[in-house]
Structure 1
Amino acid sequence: MCTPLKTLNDSLSHRRRYMKHNFPINYSIRVYREEIFKLSNISRMRLKVEGLDELVLQRLWFQVNQGVLKKIIRVLPERHPSRSYTAELERRFRDAEGVFVQSHPAEVFQQELPEKIQDIWDQLTEEPDRVPESSWKSASPKSLVDSLCHTMFCLFSDCFVPTEAQQDYCG
């Protein structure tokens, strides 16, 4: 499981160049509130959802960030300098998700999710025109990809050797 995540992390190391410098200042895209998946969301869910399994959070991480990457790609013009980077990031993300799914028994993915997690999952898969206006937020592509990176370090910490320079994202 760690190899594709490390490959994804290698690609994420270029996010400053492609996600910050190639967009106008204050550029943002509309996403569901649940797609702004930060470390604080993980901490809150761990506190509020009794017996929350790490695997459930990892599944949710894949679901959330898959949608985020697709939305970023969708708003980028064909010739935008960040489009090929984001498409490659999305491909590596799908590869990591494929390994994640294969590394667990199929029954794990058929188990019922805790109610709070199921609510988030349902909102993520809702048709955009059926989502209430209050559920939309604006976020910069870079902040979304930064959150993807930070939450990856938290949820898959076994795959990343901590260094002195690297902060503890789950702490």
Structure 2
Amino acid sequence: MVQLSTSVCLLGGPVGLFLLVPVLMAPSPSSLCTPLKTLNDSLGHRRRFMKHNFPINYTIRVHYEEVFKLSNINRMRLNIEDLDELVLQRLWFQVNQGVLKKILRVMSERHPSRPYTAELERRLQDAEGVFVQSHPDEAFQQELPDAVQDIWDRLTEEPDKVPESSWRFVSPKSLLDNFCRTMHCLFSKCFSSSEGEQDYCSVSHWRKGRKNTQSLKAETKPVSSGRPCSSTD
């Protein structure tokens, strides 16, 4: 009997270790920073691909909810009780997947910005994959707050069922500006600054950043501002 128990223990050791390996190898929330920083690097080129390669004042039609700004996030945090940050992060992925698909939809196969936009879409999908794997399954099975569920339903509604008043016309560059700024707001731990803790969810933070960028451009010698999400070209 003792011999049998010893055998079971010896057998259980490797099996238990084998079952534990996937858990140990699962991405941690901090590992999401790598694909998000890669996205940030790509978004630094959005001016060239989303402004210079489009006609002046060019806009595309998107859902009202896809004009996803810092003010939307701050309003939901204020008005929805006990709002989990994970819910806002899930919504961010859903919104920006739709935004990139709509931008791609208006581009011809030979449009000079199509490869760039397709690469953004792929990198966003990569980031979402890490995001999902770094959280337990039950985290995504919880019911969304009613206000967020309503937004989610409208985002996934068939286009021909969306009332005309629910569409907005926005420039591709503005949509990617929102994409980038809200990323820094919702995943701020991935974008620490040498200047100290930054409030990336504050609209005034980004207005200050624009002034700093304009001042740097006026210099004869190019100097890196060190600020995240700034357009480099």
Shared fold per TM-score greater than 0.5: yes
Aligned residue type for 1:82: S
Distance 2:36 2:175 in 1: 17
1:36-55 equivalence runs, <5 A: 36-55=67-86
Structure 1: 5+ residue runs without aligned partners? none
CA distance in 2, matches of 1:162, 1:168: 11
One-letter amino acid matched to 1:92:
R
Q: Deviations over 1:139-170 (max 9, x none)?
A: 00010011000000000000011244x96321
Q: Among the aligned pairs, what percent are the same residue?
A: 78
How far apart in 1 are the matches of 2:199 and 2:180? 13
Cα pair 2:192 2:198 within 8 Å, conserved: no
What SS is found at the alignment partner of 1:137? Answer: strand
Any idea what the Cα deviations from partners look like across 1:35-74, whole Å, max 9, x if unmatched?
Answer: 0000000000001101001100000000000000011011
Following superposition, the deviation at residue 9 of structure 1 comes to 0.6
1:140 corresponds to 2:171: yes
In 1, Cα distance between equivalents of 2:187 and 2:198: 14
Does the CA-based 8 Å contact 2:70-2:181 persist in structure 1? yes
- Could you say which residue in structure 2 is the equivalent of 1:169? 200
Q: Aligned to 2:62, what secondary structure does the other structure show? A: strand
1:117 equivalent in alignment to 2:117: no
From the CA coordinates, give the structure whose radius of gyration is larger.
2
Contact in 1 for aligned 2:85/2:186 (Cα 8 Å) = yes
Find the aligned partners of 1:34 and 1:12 in 2 and give their Cα distance. 21
Match for residue 95 of structure 2? 64
What corresponds to 2:44 in structure 1? 13
The aligned counterpart of 2:126 is: 95
Runs of 4+ in structure 1 displaced over 3 angstroms? none
Matched, 1:75 2:135: no
Question: Structure 2 length normalisation: TM-score?
Answer: 0.71
Q: Whole-Å Cα distance in 2 between the matches of residues 16 and 132 of structure 1? A: 31
Residues 95-150 of structure 1: CA distance to partner in whole angstroms, max 9, x if unpaired? 00110011001111111000000000000000000001110000000100110000
Letter in 1 for 2:93: F
Instruction: Tell me if 1:126 matches 2:157.
Output: yes
- More relative contact order in 1 or in 2 (CA 8 Å, sep 6+)? 1
Of the candidates 180, 185, 188, which is equivalent to residue 157 of structure 1?
Answer: 188
